[in-house]
Structure 1
Amino acid sequence: MNALLPTSTVGSLPKPSWLAAPETLWAPWSLEGDALIEGKQDALRIAVQEQQRRGIDVVSDGEQTRQHFVTTFIEHLEGVDFERRETVRIRNRYDASVPTVIGAVSRRQPVFVEDAAFLRRQTDRPIKWALPGPMTMIDTLSDRHYGSREKLAWEFATILNEEARELEAVGVDVIQFDEPSFNVFFDEVHDWGIAALERAVEGLRAETVVHICYGYGIKANTDWKATLGAQWRQYEASFPLLQRSSIDTVSLESHNSHVPIDLIELIRGKRVMLGAIDVASEVVETPEEVAGTLRRALEFVDADKLVPSTNCGMAPLPRRVAYDKLDALVAGAEIVRAEVAPRG
Structure 2
Amino acid sequence: MKKLLPTSTAGSLPKPAWLAQPETLWSPWNLSGEVLSEGKLDALRVSLHDQQLAGIDIVSDGEQSRQHFVTTFIEHLSGVDFENRKTVKIRDRYDASVPVVVDAVARPKPVFLEHAKFLRQQTNQPIKWALPGPMTMVDTLYDDHYKSREKLAWEFAKLLNQEAKELEAAGVDIIQFDEPAFNVFFDEVNDWGIAALERAIEGLNCETVVHICYGYGIKANTDWKQTLGSEWRQYEEIFPKLQASNIDVISLECHNSRVPMELLELVRGKKVMVGAIDVATNVIETPAEVADTLRKALQYVDADKLYPCTNCGMAPLPREVANAKLHALSAGAAIVRSELMQ
Please say whether Structure 1 and Structure 2 have the same fold, judged by a TM-score greater than 0.5.
yes
* Correspondence for 1:104: 104
Map residues 159-238 of structure 1 onto 2, 5 A cutoff. Answer: 159-238=159-238
* Correspondence for 1:24: 24
- For structure 1, which segment, 145-154 or 2-11, has the greater mean C-alpha deviation from structure 2 after superposition? 2-11
**SS, match of residue 238 in structure 2:** helix
CA distance in 2, matches of 1:81, 1:26: 18
- 1:59-91 superposed Cα distances (whole Å, 9 cap, x missing partner): 000000000000000000010000010000000
* Correspondence for 1:61: 61
* Correspondence for 1:36: 36
Task: Give the letter aligned to residue 110 of structure 2.
Answer: P
CA distance in 1, matches of 2:83, 2:306: 44
Task: Give the letter aligned to residue 5 of structure 1.
Answer: L
**SS, match of residue 285 in structure 2:** coil
* Correspondence for 2:93: 93
What percentage of aligned pairs have identical amino acids? 73
**SS, match of residue 146 in structure 1:** coil
* Correspondence for 2:136: 136
- 1:71-120 superposed Cα distances (whole Å, 9 cap, x missing partner): 00000001000001000000000000000000000000000011100010
Task: Say whether residues 1:239 and 2:239 are aligned partners.
Answer: yes
- How much has 1:270 moved relative to structure 2? 0.4
Aligned residue pairs total 342
CA distance in 1, matches of 2:129, 2:237: 26
CA distance in 1, matches of 2:101, 2:321: 38
CA distance in 2, matches of 1:154, 1:72: 19
CA distance in 2, matches of 1:36, 1:230: 44
- For structure 1, which segment, 233-242 or 95-104, has the greater mean C-alpha deviation from structure 2 after superposition? 233-242
CA distance in 1, matches of 2:24, 2:117: 27
CA distance in 2, matches of 1:28, 1:174: 29
**SS, match of residue 117 in structure 2:** helix
**SS, match of residue 26 in structure 1:** coil
1:2–1:57 contact (8 Å) kept in structure 2: no
**SS, match of residue 80 in structure 2:** strand
- How much has 1:3 moved relative to structure 2? 1.3
Task: Give the letter aligned to residue 118 of structure 1.
Answer: F
Task: Give the letter aligned to residue 216 of structure 2.
Answer: Y
* Correspondence for 1:249: 249
Give the TM-score, by structure 1 length.
Answer: 0.99
Q: Could you list the runs of 4 or more consecutive aligned residues of structure 1 that deviate by over 2 angstroms after TM superposition?
A: none
- How much has 1:2 moved relative to structure 2? 5.9
- 1:221-243 superposed Cα distances (whole Å, 9 cap, x missing partner): 00000000010011111111110
Which runs of no fewer than 5 residues in structure 1 stay unpaired?
none
